[in-house]
């Protein structure tokens, strides 16, 4: 796919229908919340389209819920997604590039949290290829440290946070 086929821009109300159709399940309330928080300057949400078809989405949250990121002024890449139809064509990598470019004049680091089970396998490989490394704080469950000897459930709240230096 050539670069010029992909258009990436800020999420807008007019995109919602195409996103819901392409993903069969993205919650409209969630998308509305993203648009609201873009207006409130709490996050930036980018949507990628190939011609008129939705291909991917990513957020950059300026004040993460994860305390280590919040305390260290690290914005969080969140809810990165490429639709199955357009996966393995560089959309995920391009959306990350866009967020890094957006953040690099303001922030020294950028970060993200990733789940540990196999559904996140493509993300693990992508983040590793893009130069993201663990933040050094170990495993988190619900954003609290999973300490040795504790029992945690392997689900979407069990995360490893990764960071990348931007400059």
Ligand X SMILES: CC(C)(COP(=O)(O)OP(=O)(O)OC[C@H]1O[C@@H](n2cnc3c(N)ncnc32)[C@H](O)[C@@H]1OP(=O)(O)O)[C@@H](O)C(=O)NCCC(=O)NCCS
Contact residues for ligand X (CB under 6 A)? 80-82, 87-93, 114, 120, 122-123, 125-126, 129
DSSP the chain: --GGGEEEEE--GGGHHHHHHHHT---HHHHHHHHHHHHTTSEEEEEEEETTEEEEEEEEESS-SSHHHHHTT--EEEEEEE-GGGTTTTHHHHHHHHHHHHHTTT-SEEEEEEE-SGGGHHHHHHHHHTT-EEEEEEEEETTEE--TT-----STTEEEEEEEE--
| Number of residue whose CB is nearest ligand X | 92
Nearest residue (CB) to ligand X, 114 versus 166 = 114
- Measured from the CB atom, is 2 or 151 closer to ligand X? 2
CB-nearer residue toward ligand X: 80 or 99:
80
Q: Which is nearer to ligand X, 16 or 77 (CB)?
A: 77
Rounded to a whole number of angstroms, the minimum distance from the CB of residue 57 to ligand X is: 9
């Amino acid at each position: 796919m050539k670069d010029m086929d992909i258009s990436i821009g800020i999420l807008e109300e007019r995109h919602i229908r195409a996103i819901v159709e392409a993903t069969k399940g993205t919650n409209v309330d969630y998308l509305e919340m993203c648009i609201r928080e873009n207006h409130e300057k709490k996050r930036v949400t980018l949507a990628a389209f190939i011609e008129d078809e939705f291909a991917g989405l990513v957020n950059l949250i300026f004040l993460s819920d994860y305390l280590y990121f919040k305390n260290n002024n690290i914005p969080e890449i969140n809810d990165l997604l490429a639709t199955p139809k357009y996966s393995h064509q560089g959309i995920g990598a391009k959306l990350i590039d866009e967020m890094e470019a957006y953040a690099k004049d303001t922030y020294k680091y950028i970060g993200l949290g990733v789940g540990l089970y196999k559904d996140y396998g493509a993300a693990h490989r992508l983040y590793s290829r893009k130069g993201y490394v663990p933040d050094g704080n170990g495993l988190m469950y619900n954003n609290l440290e999973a300490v040795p000897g504790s029992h945690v459930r392997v689900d979407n709240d069990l995360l490893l946070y990764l960071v990348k230096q931007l400059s």
